[in-house]
Structure 1
Amino acid sequence: MVKAVVGEETQLKQAEDRLAQSAVPAQVGLVIGKLSSNLDRGFVFDLIPTPLNDAGEPASSLLEAPKDEKKKGPKSKSQSVDSSSMAIDKDWVAEHARQVTKMLSCGMKVIGIYVWVGDSAFKNSTIMLCQTIKGVAEAAPLSEIDPDERILLHICYSPRRWTCRNYSLGSNISSSNLRPCDFKMGKVLNSLQTFKCMYNFDLRLPIYKNASSVQTLPDVLRHGISVHAKDLEGAKAIIDGNLVVNDEPCTSDGLHEVELLLPFMKNASTEACSQKEVTGVIAFNGSVCSFGYINSKEPISQVVADIKEDIILSLQSRLDIICDEADGDTDETNGESKEANDKMTLETCTSQLSIHLLRKTTNLSLPRRVFIPWLGDLFMCDYLQSSETLEVLKDHCVELLSMDAAIDTTTILEPEVEPPALIATSFWDVAVPLDPASSYSSKKSVVETSIGETSGNTTKSANFNIIIAAFFLFLSVIVGYILIIIKR
């Protein structure tokens, strides 16, 4: 359980000044930071206000007391203020948390919410605040090793003060789950250690013939990513050329290079093929870049676990982006002519197609991950399709993170030169091989070409072995005949 919370003084003071100058009666937003179970302490990096909803309205507002209550007693004005409460668009705040989570590098999480409101309205809105925190927790879950709790920061403007409460997640939504928590400001960002990992992967995901249900490309990928996540848990880490053995804090400064080594494992795809259960295969490979951050007092194992989790979440986020865009393209084509629907590429309707209905090899590149400077040495991340440029990042950062619109694109990091890609060899390519003259050829079909070359080489090798065996058999007969003559 988190016993104390420390906030970055520079950022929180800027947020307080921004709220005071805006003169808004109420505001709600996200708390970005980290909850450390090893130190029983929470760290707040910054506060991000929730933007206006689709209707152009703020996510929170102040509700005044009913008119009949204002008329009671001589102090109607003070009574109306004391009985005011907050109205919060809980679903919109949760959606904001879901989108921001995809832009956070590992080691950074949405650890709660903050509210800017008076003391009386805060006390009258505890149930609403608890519901909002629970919705945020469901939309932006933490890892399994993190505490099952969230932070509620209250910035009171009358009188001006900061208070922090710890909310324990549970099945029941009750104000009793809110408990006071020690809060102070300090230098949080200066105590962070930075780690970078370039993880290369090469997966072969089988397409089974006797599947219990219809298989789509996203289904196969999600299952393959979940299986690989279990394999990645047992990977050993090498940091700055040294194998991580002792679970000790990292004392050196600067950027630390991390390399993950997977254990030797059996080839599941080969076993499945030997059992004649596979009718196709998806070649999924590429590189994933991850930046991790831990406090200087946390053990190294923490950042290794964060990086492993971040790699899997990054692959899942890219898949979600492709599926969302494919679903959007499908909705736009509804009601159009059949010719327009026929022109849709396999990549655009991947999320709707059964993988057994594909009649040719499908090549698909996932979005690449880029990193935007945020606070000090911290980076936010975003994903770009092959047709997009760095300019589209500005809109995302301004809308979701309330960053300055004047982002220098030259400071954006693009470590993933070749983003993750996949080649889906379909059912028909395996069950009914194509004629060599009409075979699919492209730069990305090197897997299919190598399979054909391997088959040809295997045939030639088998013929050569038969000739050699026949030669030695003939030679042994001659030698035996000679030996019989000599013996006589």
Structure 2
Amino acid sequence: MVKGVVGEEERLSLAEQRLSTSGEPAEVGLLIGKLSRESDRGYIFDLAPTPSNETGQRTCFLVNKDDSNNKKKKNTNPSNSSPSSSLVIDMDWVAEHAREVSRMMVGGITVVGVYLWAPEAAFKNSTLLLSQTVKGVADAAPRPKNGSDEMLLLHISYSPRRWTCRSCSLSSNITSSSLRPCDFKMGRVLNSLQAFRCIYKLDMRLPVFSEDFSGTRTVNDILRDTISIHAKELKDAIAMVDGDLVTVTEDLPCTSDKLHEVELLVPFMKHGSLEASNRKEVVGVLVFCGTVCSYSYLSPKEPVSQVVADIKEDITRSLRTRLDIIAEEAEREMPAACRDESETNSEMPDGKSVYQMILKPLRKEIVLPFPRRVFIPWLTGSFVCDYLLPSETFEAVRDHFVELLSIDTPTDDSFMEPEKELPNLTARSFWDATTPLYRASDDAVNKRKSRVEAVKGDANNSVTSGNIKGIFAAFILLIAVIIGSLLFARNSSEL
């Protein structure tokens, strides 16, 4: 149970100033921070207002009841709030905002709840709606498995002016009484965070069975199973922080201000993912390899094991997010591809239609590149991230940061790309994948074929001269043998 919440004073003060000068009667958005199950404390780093929906309508507004005609009227003036006013919130759009923002968070930082800018009366008249909104955000935004089972609701009231925070338990049915008050104060939170980075090299080889080629399972299904298998292996990985082994018995808080480097050592075949079943025919191998970069941040009094768990979960979540992006890209391309049958049946050189394979059964060898993860500085040395398809540029994600997080427009120089070898999936034949020393790219294979054909051509052109040289050499050898025999016979007679 969350008993106390600390908000970053600088960011929340700026948000209050923006809200008080905006003239808006109501606003809803997301809380970004951390919730700790062990310490029963929560941290709020920033507020992210939910933008208008696709039709341009506001996500949250006040409604007043007109006693004269018993009709509800939208209130657009903060000073006209009445004791009978209530809230209208587009819960689905707030949940979609939470889903998008959660993709941009790194290890240990998540969407921890919802904030509301509204008068006290409207808040009291809409507690059930607010509880349902918080529940929708919790369902849309993945939360750490070892994290808290609660979400926060921060109410910023301007009539009267005050801040109040409540926690909402997700383990029970949502009712109007699901919100429980908790202590809230402002302080310096971001300056006390410890930063950790992990450059994780992913290299998996999983068998592909005959049913994967002939059945109805799509590449998407196979990949999700692959990532789930690796998540189990990653959970048992041994961690080293700054070269020191992290053990449970000696797990102490980290106090250094430098960037800590984390290395994960995965046990070999811990869960038997490479074992072939005798009831299935192995016809190929999935090679899933590349580099994944993860950042994570440790709050005060948290042990190092917490940040290690956050990094492991962030790596798995990052892979799943990339897979979701590929699937969404394939769904966007599918209608256009269906209109052009030739485009569907061809391998497009621009790399777009390759993602349509994700929605189809695995029937041939494929090479599927994953989006790359890029980072941008966010608050007080911390980072947020986004994902770029191979054909995209920074311009494609620049608007994401501005719209979803309400931050200043980032420049190209501020983007970081620490992932040198992008994650990619390759489906290969069994022997080609299990003998990596003899594998070659398509270009290398074509070059090798060209060299073989050239050698064959030279051999055909020189076959005649080769035969003449062979006959001449045999004739010389015969003469040498005859002369030697004569000399040997002569020497024997003299003796």
Give TM-score, length-normalised by structure 2: 0.82
Bigger CA drift: 246-255 or 191-200? 246-255
Residue 201 of structure 2 contacts residue 289 of structure 2 at CA under 8 Å; is this kept in 1?
A: yes
Looking at structure 1, the residues matched to 441 and 147 of structure 2 have their Cα atoms a distance apart, in angstroms, of 48
Shift of the 274–196 alpha-carbon distance from structure 1 to 2, 3 Å rule, reads same
Output the CA distance in 1 between the equivalents of 2:82 and 2:165: 23
Post-superposition CA distance 1:139-174 (Å, at most 9, x none): 013122112111000000112110001111144221
Kept in 2, the 8 Å contact 1:398–1:404? The answer is yes
- Are residue 314 (structure 1) and residue 318 (structure 2) matched? yes
CA separation in 2, counterparts of 1:270 and 1:154?
A: 52
1:296 CA displacement: 2.7
Alignment-derived partner of residue 68 in structure 1: 68
Q: Return the alpha-carbon distance in structure 2 between the equivalents of residues 9 and 441 of structure 1.
A: 55
Alignment correspondent of 1:326 = 330
User: The residue matched to 1:104 in structure 2 has which SS?
Assistant: coil
Q: CA deviation at 1:383?
A: 0.6
% same residue: 53
User: Residue 201 of structure 2 corresponds to which residue in structure 1?
Assistant: 200
Taking the aligned partners of 1:445 and 1:288, their CA distance within structure 2 comes to 29
The reply to whether residue 159 of structure 1 matches residue 160 of structure 2 is yes
1:458 matched residue in structure 2: none
Report the Cα offset of residue 427 of structure 1: 9.3
Cα deviation digits, residues 369-426 of structure 1 (max 9, x gap): 0101110111000011111112222111111111112x12212211002210121126
1:30 alignment counterpart: 30
- The answer on 1:40 being equivalent to 2:43 is no
Aligned to 2:427: 424
User: Residue 65 of structure 2 aligns to a residue in which SS?
Assistant: coil
Provide the aligned length of Structure 1 versus Structure 2.
430
Contact in 2 for aligned 1:60/1:86 (Cα 8 Å): yes
Aligned counterparts, 1:111-190, within 5 A: 111-190=112-191
Partner of 1:363: 367
Deviation string 1:16-47 (CA, Å, 9 cap, x unpaired) is: 00001111000000000000112210000000
Query: Take 2:340 and 2:417, find their aligned partners in 1: how far apart are those partners?
Result: 40
In structure 1, how many angstroms separate the alpha carbons of the residues matched to 2:318 and 2:355? 21
C-alpha distance in 2, partners of 1:208/1:124? Answer: 58
> Residue 473 of structure 1 corresponds to which residue in structure 2?
none
Give the conservation status (yes or no) of the 8 Å contact 1:27–1:59. yes
Matches within 5 A, 1:281-320: 281-320=285-324
**2:379 paired residue number:** 375
Q: Which amino acid aligns with 1:23?
A: G
Q: CA distance change for structure 1 residues 352 and 82 in 2, over 3 Å: closer, same or farther?
A: same
Distance 1:347 1:366, change over 3 A: same
Deviation per residue, 1:440-479 (Å, 9 max, x gap): 9426999xx9xxxxxxxxxxxxxxxxxxxxxxxxxxxxxx
Q: Which residue of 1 aligns with 2:83?
A: 82
What is the CA–CA distance in structure 2 between the aligned matches of 1:67 and 1:445, rounded to whole Å? 81
After superposition, the Cα gap between the structure-2 partners of 1:440 and 1:139, relative to the gap in structure 1 and judged at 3 Å, is same
How far residue 262 of structure 1 moved from its aligned partner, in angstroms, is: 1.1
- Identify the residue that residue 192 of structure 2 maps to in structure 1: 191
Q: 2:394 maps to which residue?
A: 390
Letter of the structure 1 residue corresponding to residue 427 of structure 2: A
Contact 1:59-1:93 at 8 Å conserved across structures: yes
Specify the alignment match of 1:434 in structure 2: none
Give 1:226's aligned residue. 228
Corresponding residue number in structure 1 for 2:19: 19
Give secondary structure in 2 for the equivalent of 1:161. strand
Contact 1:207 1:220 in 2 (8 A): no
* Letter of the structure 2 residue corresponding to residue 351 of structure 1: I
Report the 3-state secondary structure (helix = DSSP H, G, I; strand = E; otherwise coil) of the residue aligned with 1:350: helix
Q: Which residue of 1 aligns with 2:465?
A: none
**What SS does the corresponding residue of 2:354 show, helix, strand or coil?**
coil
1:271 maps to amino acid: E
Distance 1:181 1:97, change over 3 A: same
- Which of 207, 217, 220 pairs up with 2:219? 217
C-alpha separation between the residues in 2 aligned to 1:268 and 1:48?
43
Letter in 1 for 2:9: E
Higher Rg of the two aligned structures: 2
CA distance in 2, matches of 1:150, 1:106: 18
Secondary structure of the corresponding residue to residue 175 of structure 1: coil
In structure 2, runs of 5+ residues without a counterpart are 72-77, 434-438, 450-495
Question: Following the alignment from structure 2 to structure 1, what is the Cα–Cα distance between the partners of residues 445 and 258?
Answer: 41
- Partner SS, residue 24 of structure 1: coil
Distance across 1 between alignment mates of 2:229 and 2:314: 15
1:74 is matched with none
Contact 2:220 2:359 in 1 (8 A): no
Paired residue for 2:6? 6
Q: Which moved more, 1:228-237 or 1:390-399?
A: 390-399
Read off the aligned partner of 1:81 and give its amino acid letter. S
- Aligned residue for 1:112, secondary structure, equals strand
What do the CA deviations read for 1:170-219 (whole angstroms, capped 9, x no partner)? Answer: 44221211111100000000110000000011101221124695222111
SS where residue 42 of structure 1 aligns? strand
Q: Is the 8 A contact 2:215 2:361 kept in 1?
A: no
Partner residue in 2 for 1:350: 357
Is the contact between residue 106 and residue 306 of structure 1 (CA under 8 Å) also seen in structure 2? yes
